Amino acid sequence: MRDSLYLRLHEPSLEAPCNFAVVPAVAGAAVVEQASLATALARAQGLRLVVLVSSDRVRLTKVEVPLRQPGKVLQAVPFLLEDQFAEDVEDLHFALGPRQTDQSFPVAAVSRRQMEAWLAPLRQAGVEAELLLPEVLCLPWQHDGNWSVLPESEQVTVRTGVFSGFCCAPEDLETFLELAEDSQPRTLRVVAVRGSGSERFAAGARAIELLPGYADALEALIRGHRPEYSINLLQGIYSRHNRFDRIWHPWRLAAGLAAAVFTLGVADNIAHSVRDAYAAQRLQTANAQTFKTLFPDQPVTADLALQIRQQQMMLASSDDQTSLLPLLSMAASALQATPGLSLQTVQYHDHALYLDLTGANLQPLEKLRDWFAGHHGARLEVQTADAGENGVHIRVKLSAAA
């Protein structure tokens, strides 16, 4: 297990000051340092990077849904919670916590613009975070009904539950507490940071329990962090598994086909480099199946490499406006402009592109129709649209406009 670098990212600029600490994988003290964000990120090479962000930009809620697969739940969340937000849910990013005993899922919501702002300096520095966590879910927590409080000069962060809490200005704390307590005053467990004046924290007539001994607020957040009680915001398109999808999202359809054609084009050379005859045979069979999927109207012959070159020549023809590449470009642009649909398979035959898509509901399909209505380079035909308990399955045909 690697050592970890924790840092507080409140101002997403490489020149901005930030507090950070390297935490050994084995038991050891975390010594908090302060430097520019650029200096802190330079220390991240080879370490597990954990970034803590201010909770005033993150809204915490929960969703009850009969689905069990987190991926399916994440697709459904924007539509289930859209009534709770004034913003368009397409402008928001959602992340899930672990499934709870009442079958609900904790949800963290943040604007996509804010996510991009937080991640921009990391990308500039050439590093990638493994965890991006709201600070409120890193405050110490015990299952005794008491609330944890981190008072700072410009804001106060309060954890009111395993996956709930808020952040406010110090002068607004009393109002926020009264709203959250719902007429049941709570004991406040206050994180006391040396030299911050937190030991003089006052909250009306509420009982206060001090948690002293912290040299810096970041130290308290590091000690309080429990993976099972936090939500990593790096999910969906921001997950580490989808980092290339984030970069190539507008071109993923074209890139996928290009990769398939390239793989087929070099299959003959790869086969000669494989020593094991069985492995070579499996590779040849897989290539033939891929070729048949891409070009279902073409019979597979013994000279697969020759067929691939012939298809490449056809695809390279820029004069043929009904060829695959123009349709492929239109499909990629359309899917980028209408989030909510996932591409499953693609086929090309009879001068038409056939796409199999899935989604949570039929709403994105209507947006896809509207997109093609405003772009006259291709004609969209919906062949099937079947709805079920796992969402909708859609098959569309894309052909050149007459």
* pLDDT value of residue 271: 44
Residue with tokens 């004991």: 187
Q: What is the mean pLDDT of each run of 10 residues along the chain (402 residues)?
A: 92 95 82 95 94 95 84 87 88 93 92 96 95 97 92 93 94 91 87 79 82 91 94 92 52 55 50 51 63 62 59 50 70 86 82 87 88 85 84 89 76
CA distances in angstroms from 37 to 11, 34, 40, 251, 372, listed in the order given:
9, 9, 5, 32, 44
Closest CA to 338 of 317, 364, 307: 364
Q: Which of 85, 92, 220, 106 is nearest to 162 (CA)?
A: 106
Q: What DSSP designation does 214 have?
A: E
The pLDDT score that the predictor gives to residue 388 is 79
DSSP-based three-state secondary structure for 23? strand
Phi and psi torsions of 127, nearest 5°: -125, 165
Helix (H) or strand (E) holding 22: strand 17-23
Q: Within 13 Å, how many C-alpha atoms sit on residue 245's CB side?
A: 11
Burial class (CB in 10 A: 0-12, 13-18, 19+), 125: middle
| Exposure string for 311-329, b = 16+ CB within 10 A, e = fewer | beeebeeeeeeebbbbbbb
List, for residues 52-63, the tens digit of each pLDDT value. Answer: 999 999 999 999
- Amino acid present at 155: Q
Give the pLDDT confidence of 90-137 residue by residue, as tens digits: 999 999 999 998 889 999 999 999 999 999 999 999 999 999 999 999
Q: Which domains does the chain have, with CATH numbers?
A: 248-316 (no CATH), 324-400 (3.30.1360.100)
- What is the rounded CA–CA span in Å between residue 118 and residue 251? 24
The token pair at 402 is: 């007459």
